[in-house]
Amino acid sequence: MLDLKRQYRPLHQELLQAIGHVLEAQQFILGEPVAAFEQAAAAQLGVAHAVGCSSGTDALWLALAAAGIRPGDAIITTPFSFFASVSAILRAGATPLLADIEPATFNLDPVQVKAVLDGPHGAEVKAVLPVHLFGQCADWTAFWHLGKTYGLKLIEDAAQAWGAEWQGVKAGALGDAAAFSFYPTKNLSAAGDAGMVTTNSDELAERARMLRQHGMRRRYYHDEVGWNTRMDGFQGAILQIKLKYIDGWNHARRAVARRYHALFHAAGLAEAGPYPAHGVVLPHEVSGTHHVWHQYVIRTARRDALRQFLAERKIGSEIYYPVPLHLQQALLSLGYSEGSFPEAERAAREVLALPIFPELREDEQQTVVSAIAEFLS
């Protein structure tokens, strides 16, 4: 599914040297290595501020807290994402309201969000938290209009979308604030847990810096109850090295995605969609976006049997996500049930993520597609 060693090997010396510098400086928490990464990251994204922290989950909480989200506020997000998109809202003391997804992109559907805004709890909504799922930006034009019309904050869950763009603007620079994850499998990855909040607001950035260190502006004077969610120096140093290569890696991912498209079409397996019949519905890049292919997710009717067939041939695949968030045991108290979000529920039954990473070879992709063709024949 993913061979991280292919990325690591050519960087081995450079990374060891960067780690050595952190050891020499003995700057293990925040400090110069993190500050330098934050500056370079903000410049690459074209955003005023980047605030490093300890994970993508914490970055979501930090972005919400810094944006002034309080208990009693409601936040609209998607039921088809990683758990943290919703749990971070709860951790901020707010109430998650969910809205269904677009079947073609798996991203939060602005039409469904508008319906929630016009519904009985619309007045409590303070922010929308779209997720740029699988590396493709949610429909930011529509969310921007909703934000203006209803006076809402927009917080991006950009955990999977380093380098993605909407109409030429990078993920991380679109909303009032954004949260990134540098979990080791992400396009831009640390050697452990790490995350980051980005924003163009001086005030929000200042609050995020204060909140990530127990609400301190001055050492041992606590203005608010924040949390310990600091990035460590090793992660900052490693991420700064990888920042130089990420555009190239994302470019290579785009080439891998194009090759899958060509191979599936050549094999006669590609169907128009958005739902599968007998073949495979390929993921598609919305015009005006720049997809960074964190995942290459197909839809197919007999998904579980196909996955089993691939596993028997030692071909990795993964299901992101098998259970939509409103049906997760931990979130039943939100009050949704089976049938609440039919698109998310259907996607959970049909999606299958195929191997994708920058160094994946064409012959390996051919093996994947040939196996799927064999299964479907």
Our CB check for ligand PLP shows the closer of 42 and 84 to be 84
8 A C-beta contact, residue 39 and residue 240: no
Binding mask 201-240 for ligand PLP (x = CB under 6 A): ----------------------------------------
The two beta strands, 49-53 and 195-199, are antiparallel
Q: Which residue is nearest to ligand PLP (CB)?
A: 56
| Locus of tokens 């698109």 | 343
Binding segment toward ligand PLP, per CB under 6 A, in 51-59, 276-284, 322-330, 332-340 = 51-59
CA separation for the pair 310, 316 (Å, rounded): 7
Our CB check for ligand PLP shows the closer of 264 and 290 to be 290
User: How is residue 122 annotated by DSSP?
Assistant: G
Residue 75 lies near ligand PLP (rule: CB under 6 A): no
Name the minimum Å distance from CB 87 to ligand PLP: 9
Residue 85 lies near ligand PLP (rule: CB under 6 A): yes
CA separation for the pair 100, 359 (Å, rounded): 34
Our CB check for ligand PLP shows the closer of 55 and 317 to be 55
Residue 136 lies near ligand PLP (rule: CB under 6 A): no
Q: Which of 103, 135, 175, 195 binds ligand PLP (CB under 6 A)?
A: 195
For residue 61, which of 179, 143, 147 has the smallest C-alpha distance? 179
CA separation for the pair 3, 79 (Å, rounded): 29
Q: Which of 61, 162, 183, 249 binds ligand PLP (CB under 6 A)?
A: 183
CA separation for the pair 45, 249 (Å, rounded): 16
Bridge partners (DSSP) of residue 197 are 51, 179
Residue 162 lies near ligand PLP (rule: CB under 6 A): no
Q: Which of 22, 69, 75, 84 binds ligand PLP (CB under 6 A)?
A: 84
Name the minimum Å distance from CB 6 to ligand PLP: 21
Binding segment toward ligand PLP, per CB under 6 A, in 98-106, 154-162, 242-250, 296-304 = 154-162
Residue 315 lies near ligand PLP (rule: CB under 6 A): no
Name the minimum Å distance from CB 320 to ligand PLP: 8
CA separation for the pair 351, 283 (Å, rounded): 10
Residue 81 lies near ligand PLP (rule: CB under 6 A): yes
Q: Which amino acid type is present at position 10? A: P
Q: Which amino acid type is present at position 44? A: Q
CA–CA distance from 116 to each of 5, 140, 179 (Å)? 45, 18, 23
Residue 295 lies near ligand PLP (rule: CB under 6 A): no
Our CB check for ligand PLP shows the closer of 46 and 192 to be 192
Name the minimum Å distance from CB 88 to ligand PLP: 7
CA separation for the pair 318, 153 (Å, rounded): 33
Name the packing angle between helices 140-150 and 110-117 (round to 10°). Answer: 10
For residue 351, which of 278, 296, 310, 308 has the smallest C-alpha distance? 296
**Residue 118 is encoded by which pair of tokens?**
């016009």
Binding segment toward ligand PLP, per CB under 6 A, in 24-32, 65-73, 77-85, 108-116 = 77-85
Residue 181 lies near ligand PLP (rule: CB under 6 A): yes
The Cβ-side half-sphere exposure at 139, using a 13 Å CA radius, reads 17
Q: Which of 38, 42, 45, 57 binds ligand PLP (CB under 6 A)?
A: 57
Name the packing angle between helices 246-266 and 362-376 (round to 10°). Answer: 40
Residue 157 lies near ligand PLP (rule: CB under 6 A): yes
Binding-residue total with ligand PLP (CB under 6 A): 16
Q: Which of 37, 80, 82, 162 binds ligand PLP (CB under 6 A)?
A: 82
93-132 binders of ligand PLP (CB under 6 A): 131
CA–CA distance from 34 to each of 29, 150, 226 (Å)? 8, 37, 20
CA separation for the pair 196, 172 (Å, rounded): 10
The site for ligand PLP (CB under 6 A) is made up of 55-57, 60, 81-82, 84-85, 131, 157, 159-160, 181, 183, 193, 195
